[in-house]
Chain A
């Protein structure tokens, strides 16, 4: 075995213990052998280092966010999730409370309005009303409130507004000023206040609000001068009719062939109670 082969065998762990010791002694005494040993040692170290750097380069190419970035990302993530949850909850609650306007509903409501009176007829009625006496102006005021319709006016003919004595309806007082919210129709037609009090007209859509609520499925609430209906009122048109009496204005809701009493004595949410008084129903039917 040559010296080079001995060195090679040494680095390959192929020498026995005694052979290895002998080689070390020879290296210490032979300069050329020592030189070859150092050369081989350097080459093998170089090969190992080459492979090590190769592996480290491979690991170094793996993209991992730094811990600082990680904290930032986590923070952003938490804030993002919190925002999504908050917005989601808000939208969910609002979805339950504020059903979006259904175009079909608007169309239906407009149909109701159209069925009541044409704008031209309102003008005629107003002109006629201006000529009528104070007694005529004492007639009960009736309003139709069509939800989601702002501009389409509606009115009944003055002839329909004859005073009627109904047990539930108090005879309206003379010259009682209009206490309801003024409307676009009133302003547009410049109707006298007394006439306005006895006419049927639309109110702003902001006066009536429909809300879906799990707890209240067929209820109402009079709040801040506006009416809030709780339940599914979006499939059929509804009307709010006000009858002016000497005790004030009584409001009624007409919905799906029934009239319901609306009291505004408190802002509590109350169930809608159907009216079964035939005379009142008859009167309300007239006012529609």
Chain B
């Protein structure tokens, strides 16, 4: 499979193509981090994060590659790792503790939402994920999931979102969820 074919499949939301890319450039990206004071686990995290960013951009339909795909992903990894190194250097231990506390609090809220998403059916999960994260249009969602038309997709998205909102509000008080 050529690089162009891989990229085309990524843009179409083919998750298997993402796996192919992950395997293909794993060592290159891991070496980038491990040769710059990073561990292999940190490298793995950075690479996965970078691929998710790449996936999101490619799926949004706004990404036009002007370089090799590996070069683009490499640059994302590099930026993410620099950011991480900067974060490590910049903050004192107290600041780190404060950030960690904020992150934990945020994670708790996210956990609540995740539990509610888990209660949705698979179609709702897909529609909401494709719409809010992957940035797909209603037409693309309709094609990918197999809805009759974009209006069906739009209605489904509206209902799923409403259901999720109600679920969260019903199960958790506003105080639990909001700042």
**Interface set of A (CB-CB < 8 Å, partner B):** 8, 35, 38-40, 42-56, 58-60, 62, 64, 66-68, 70
A58 with B19: CB separation less than 8 A: yes
Contacts A62-B23, A64-B23, A67-B34; A38 near B113 (Cβ below 8 A): no
Interface residues on B, range: 35 or more
Interchain residue pairs with CB less than 8 A apart (6): A39-B178, A42-B113, A46-B109, A51-B132, A55-B51, A62-B23
Residues in A whose Cβ lies below 8 Å from that of B129: 47, 50-51, 54
**Interface flag for B52 (CB, 8 Å):** yes
User: A180 vs B109: C-alpha distance in the bound complex, in angstroms?
Assistant: 100
Query: Among the listed A40, A52, A56, which residue makes an inter-chain contact with B133, where contact means beta carbons less than 8 Å apart?
Result: A52
CB contact list, B14-44 vs A, under 8 A: 15, 18-19, 22-23, 26-27, 30-31, 34, 40, 44
Please, which residues of chain A bring their CB within 8 A of the CB of B109?
42, 46
Taking CB atoms, residues of chain B closer than 8 Å to A70 are 27
Closest to A34 in B: B178
What distance in Å separates the Cβ of B111 from its nearest Cβ neighbour in chain A? 9
**Other-chain residue from B15, B31, B132, B165 in contact with A48 (beta carbon distance below 8 A):** B132
A42 in contact with B117 given A47-B133, A55-B52, A64-B23 (CB within 8 Å): no
B111 nearest CB neighbor, chain A only: A46
B114 engages A60 (CB within 8 Å): no
Binding site for A on B (CB under 8 A): 15, 18-19, 22-23, 26-27, 30-31, 34, 40, 44, 48-49, 51-52, 55, 109-110, 112-114, 117, 125, 128-129, 132-134, 161, 164-165, 168-169, 174, 177-179
Nearest Cβ on chain A to B64's Cβ, whole angstroms? 20
In the bound assembly, the distance between CA atoms of A111 and B57 in angstroms comes to: 86
> Which residue from A42, A48, A55, A67 sits with its C-beta under 8 Å from B55?
A55
Contact B52 A64 (CB under 8 A): no
Q: For the A-B complex with A39-B168, A43-B113 known, give 8 more contacts whose Cβ atoms are closer than 8 Å.
A: A38-B179, A39-B177, A42-B113, A47-B129, A55-B18, A55-B52, A56-B48, A58-B18
- Top 6 A-B residue pairs of the complex, sorted by shortest distance between their CB atoms: A46-B113, A51-B133, A51-B129, A48-B133, A47-B132, A56-B48
Known A38-B178, A54-B129, A59-B19; contact A43-B48, beta-carbon cutoff 8 A: no
Which B residues are in CB contact (< 8 Å) with A46? 109-110, 112-114, 117
**Cβ contacts under 8 Å, B44 to chain A:** 60
Which residue in chain B gives the minimum CB-CB distance to A38? B178
Contact residues in B for A52 (Cβ distance below 8 Å): 52, 133
Max count, chain B CB within 10 A of own CB: residue among A35, A40, A47, A55: A47
Docked Cα-Cα span, A39 to B125, in Å, equals 19
Selected from B19, B55, B114, B177, the residue in CB contact (under 8 A) with A50 is B114
A56 to B44, CA, bound (A): 10
Residues of the A chain whose Cβ atoms lie less than 8 Å from the Cβ of B179: 38
Determine how close the nearest CB of chain A comes to the CB of B131; give it in whole angstroms. Answer: 8
